[in-house]
Amino acid sequence: MEQFTIQAEAASRCGGTRPSAIIGVVASGNLEILLERIEGTGCAIEVATSATGFRPIWEAVIADFVQRTSPGGLRISINDGGARPDTVSLRLMQGVRLISEVP
């Protein structure tokens, strides 16, 4: 088990009015993501993962995600069961779409 937080600065605040969103499942090879609103345009991503030693890949995945979707003003908590980077990326994208949708 490894835990760390990655801070990123997004270009703008994430749209929509939903206060929070949750997507994914806690399972082997999968992950659960909770998104919550915070002040400002920063994005705080807290990762708890069962696979150790992949922090550089997490940082690369998150840097691209922040650039592609601009998830400013979000705290994102990830409960990871050893998902592959593509699954992480897809879940992050899905999470941002979900919280920015009109409820």
Partner 1 sequence: MIQTEVRSWDRQRTARHERLGRAASLAKGKQVQASDATALLEALLQPGDRVCLEGDNQKQADLLARALAAADPARVHDLHIVQSGIVLPEHLEIFERGIARKLDFSYSGPQGASIARALNNGRIELGAIHTYIELFARYYMDLTPHVALIAAVQADAQGNLYTGPNTEDTPTIVEATAFKSGIVVAQVNRIVDRLPRVDIPGDQVDFIIEADRPFYVEPLFTRDPASITETQILMAMMAIKGIYAEYGVKRLNHGIGFGTAAIELLLPTFAERLGLKGKIATHWALNPHPTLIPAIESGWVEQIHCFGSEVGMDAYMAARPDIYFTGRDGTLRSNRMMCQNAGLYACDMFIGSTLQIDLDGNSSTVTPDRIAGFGGAPNMGADAHGRRHASDSWLKAGREASDGNIAMTRGRKLVVQIVETFGAGMAPTFVERLDSVALAEKLQLELVPVMIYGDDVTHIVTEEGIANLLLCRTREEREQAIRGVAGYTEVGRGRDRAVVQKLRERRVIRRPEDLGLNPLDATRHLLAARSIRDLVGWSKDLYRPPSKFRNW
> Considering only CA atoms, which of 43, 58, 63, 42 is closest in space to residue 3?
58
Query: Which CB atom, from 17 or from 57, has the smaller least distance to partner 1?
Result: 57
Q: Does 55 bind partner 1 (CB under 8 A)?
A: no
Q: Does 18 bind partner 1 (CB under 8 A)?
A: no
Among 33, 42, 98, 102, binds partner 1 (CB under 8 A): 98
CB of 33 to partner 1, least distance (A): 13
> Considering only CA atoms, which of 51, 53, 100 is closest in space to residue 79?
51
Q: Does 50 bind partner 1 (CB under 8 A)?
A: no
Return the residue matching tokens 């899905």: 94
Footprint on residues 57-96 left by partner 1 (CB under 8 A): 57, 60-61, 68, 84-87, 89-90, 93-94
